[in-house]
Chain A
């Protein structure tokens, strides 16, 4: 209980520090670290999601039309709800937690254990400025970009691939999609993915810089805590967002009382 309270307090302090120190991005090494983070989190992760995202879109359309016997309009509506609003941002967040979150928390924990954070302080370099700010900002932007990329691939892939497995025409799917899509769907998913990126990076930085022990054994423990807490935080934010914006939880199973 005390540890949990201490972690919440530490996380809040880290959050305040990050926002106050965003201008540190003007410094060349911090900017370089930020770009490196965007590249690692966004660009290198993008190649691995092409097939999966396209397949997901096709699967949703095929499943809805073939198994549930729905018409094109309902299939596209489900594609919109599932891919744009929920699965796109969540899939990107999971990719970021598994690839970047683990790497980031392990790297920072190693730096802390081997005295590299102390070395930075002795050089007059603030750990928050050099280690936390570029990672948090980089992961936020990369998560949003990765979300857009996954959504684009899932929608386009779904529309292109679905006609090969079921009786549906690309033109019809395409027309229905643009009839039903609204700007709020994009705004909602982008804001949500920025929040996901923020909370993932913050949690991983916190646990990386505060490993439970300053020995080699502290690294896996820090990574485990970072990953589990990031996943819980992402799922909580996802549920809160759905409830606050659309008044529904768990794909409409729980509705807000108006």
Chain B
């Protein structure tokens, strides 16, 4: 594995440049200066594409000009938990978690079920009831938990979590903070990146 798992540069007219470099195998919290920079970083990693004013390198490979197949190969090693979460409303929690793996046939479903059950139990949630619920019946933390379990099911070498505590109350944020340990327990060599906005300077 390359020493740098994620490198991202953004040069916008009239804004300070954004330069991010995350070494492989660590957990890092990125604080980006504004919402646009954050959205563009997340979007670039999510799509493994970058615009003219961006540079993105994943596992040491620049994605600009990379053929589609190569980008897809990189994409398979990445898991992104976005603000939108991307849950499918007519599928229950278990179907949402297992959908990508079942569709692509990439990971054994039994292993995903085991991972989901273990992670839920260690996060203090009863799997039997929880996995049968639809996203509309869940609170924001539970929806985030489903999206996180889907991320875990992918076993990504690089996991990027956008705004982990956003939209959650204090108690839910405390529970969400345990996601890091869950990821690390399953991917000891993996890279975990939390992306947030830099807090405004007090005037």
**Chain A residues with a Cβ under 8 A of chain B:** 27-30, 107, 110-111, 114-116, 118-120, 122-125, 130
Expressed in whole angstroms, the Cα–Cα distance for A163 and B128 within the complex equals 55
- The main secondary structure of chain B at its interface with chain A is helix
- The range of chain B's interface size is 10 to 19
Q: List 10 A-B contacts (CB under 8 A).
A: A27-B103, A29-B95, A107-B90, A115-B86, A116-B86, A116-B87, A116-B88, A123-B99, A124-B103, A125-B100
Expressed in whole angstroms, the Cα–Cα distance for A28 and B86 within the complex equals 20
B77 CB → nearest A CB, Å? 13
Among A107, A110, A122, A130, the residue within 8 A (CB) of B86 is A122
Residues of A within 8 A of B72 (CB): 124
A39 CB → nearest B CB, Å? 13
Expressed in whole angstroms, the Cα–Cα distance for A107 and B89 within the complex equals 9
Please tell me if the beta carbons of A110 and B84 are within 8 angstroms of each other in the complex: no
Please tell me if the beta carbons of A123 and B102 are within 8 angstroms of each other in the complex: no
Please tell me if the beta carbons of B46 and A125 are within 8 angstroms of each other in the complex: no
Expressed in whole angstroms, the Cα–Cα distance for A29 and B92 within the complex equals 13
- In the complex, how many residue pairs between chain A and chain B have their CB atoms under 8 Å apart? 45
- In addition to A111-B89, A125-B99, 4 A-B residue pairs with Cβ atoms within 8 Å of each other are A28-B103, A29-B102, A119-B84, A124-B103
Residues of A within 8 A of B103 (CB): 27-30, 123-125, 130
Q: Which residue of B lies closest to A27 (CB)?
A: B103
- Chain A to chain B: the 7 pairs with minimum beta-carbon distance, closest first: A119-B86, A123-B100, A28-B102, A29-B102, A29-B103, A125-B103, A116-B88
Expressed in whole angstroms, the Cα–Cα distance for A119 and B82 within the complex equals 10
A30 CB → nearest B CB, Å? 7
Please tell me if the beta carbons of B100 and A124 are within 8 angstroms of each other in the complex: yes
B178 CB → nearest A CB, Å? 25
Please tell me if the beta carbons of B102 and A120 are within 8 angstroms of each other in the complex: no
Q: Which residue of A lies closest to B109 (CB)?
A: A28
Please tell me if the beta carbons of A29 and B88 are within 8 angstroms of each other in the complex: no
Expressed in whole angstroms, the Cα–Cα distance for A125 and B88 within the complex equals 12
Please tell me if the beta carbons of B87 and A119 are within 8 angstroms of each other in the complex: yes
The answer to whether the Cβ of B13 comes within 8 Å of any Cβ in the partner chain is no
